[in-house]
Amino acid sequence: MRYGPIVFLAAFLTLSASWCGFVLTPQIQLGRAVQETNSVVKAELYPQGRPGLARAGLEVYRADGCFYCHSQQVDQKKTLVDVFLTDAGKTPTAVAQALEDAHAGTFSAPGLAAGLPKPVLRNATMESASVLASLLKKAGATAELHLAPAGPDIERGWGARRTVAQDFISDSTVMLGSQRVGPDLANVGARLPDENWQLMHLYAPRSVTKDSPMPSYPFLFERRKTGQHPAPDALQQLPKEFAPPAGYEIVPKPEARALVAYLLSLRSDTPLYEAPLTPPAPPAAATNAPAK
């Protein structure tokens, strides 16, 4: 390493390698990704593009730096599987034996056919669930597997499953965030769909969440005299200590409406093949049990 060209070559080659790895290859792999009918349940394209107002709201989210305190990435530790018996078949004794062999528990053969579909194994791994499913099939019964993603983020209710690259393909300025001073927002549209709640929360966070450390955003709202014709979209249910003095009303500016539209458009609860889940649908609904 005594001479300039060698040092230069060392830097050039190592940086090229890193550039090819983390700039070029992801772009080749993901850059041309398009909406797919990747969704397990619905036959529609996913993700749907955001409506115009929500796209304007993304710019407000960016300008005011919401992503410094809110991430948009739900983590998932594992997927738990529930096995539901849907048809006990003609040989309930064999089915009961199969359940016992798979350590699913002791069931009385005559009572098996009652109250179907019913869960026979809960919170199992995919492995033991598929063992049980194949045993049940041999015994002449049919079973469904229900997939439930699990992990602290999901137990918190932040999302139904982990977020994946597919969730973001139609966005520009992807703000995944690096810190959580507040909750994750990847699925906030499904979690807190009330527009009025969102507006009140932006205007005065502590009016809806006690002790919230979030700053208030009064500059997204306009305080004006209630004239002859009160604005129909003025904030209504503000608690006393946050409400404007009598004769005044708080009206959201277009930025506030756009930001809320963006927040409500944030949802990542569609089942995907790379992040499967069984939506809490009526029991009769189709499941995403793997093809047998």
Site for other proteins in 163-202 (CB under 8 A): 163-165, 167-183
> Does residue 9 sit in helix, strand or coil?
helix
**Is residue 12 involved in binding other proteins (CB under 8 A)?**
yes
Q: How far is the CB of 165 from other proteins (least distance, A)?
A: 5
Task: Give the nearer residue to other proteins in terms of CB position, either 82 or 242.
Answer: 242
Distances (CA, A) of 166 to 41, 182, 191: 16, 24, 20
Task: Give the nearer residue to other proteins in terms of CB position, either 23 or 246.
Answer: 23
Distances (CA, A) of 41 to 38, 62, 172, 271: 9, 32, 27, 7
**Is residue 29 involved in binding other proteins (CB under 8 A)?**
yes
* Residue 225 and residue 248 in contact, taking contact as beta carbons nearer than 8 Å: yes
CB atoms within 10 A of CB 238: 18
Q: How far is the CB of 258 from other proteins (least distance, A)?
A: 13
Q: How far is the CB of 275 from other proteins (least distance, A)?
A: 9
Task: Give the nearer residue to other proteins in terms of CB position, either 33 or 281.
Answer: 33
* Residue 220 and residue 203 in contact, taking contact as beta carbons nearer than 8 Å: yes
Site for other proteins in 210-269 (CB under 8 A): 210-219
Which stretch, 13-21, 107-115, 132-140, 244-252, contacts other proteins (CB under 8 A)?
A: 13-21
Residue 107: name the closest of 128, 125, 85, 127 by CA: 85
Site for other proteins in 46-65 (CB under 8 A): 62-65
> What gap in Å lies between CA 83 and CA 104, rounded to an integer?
10
Site for other proteins in 69-98 (CB under 8 A): 69, 71, 73, 75
**Is residue 30 involved in binding other proteins (CB under 8 A)?**
yes
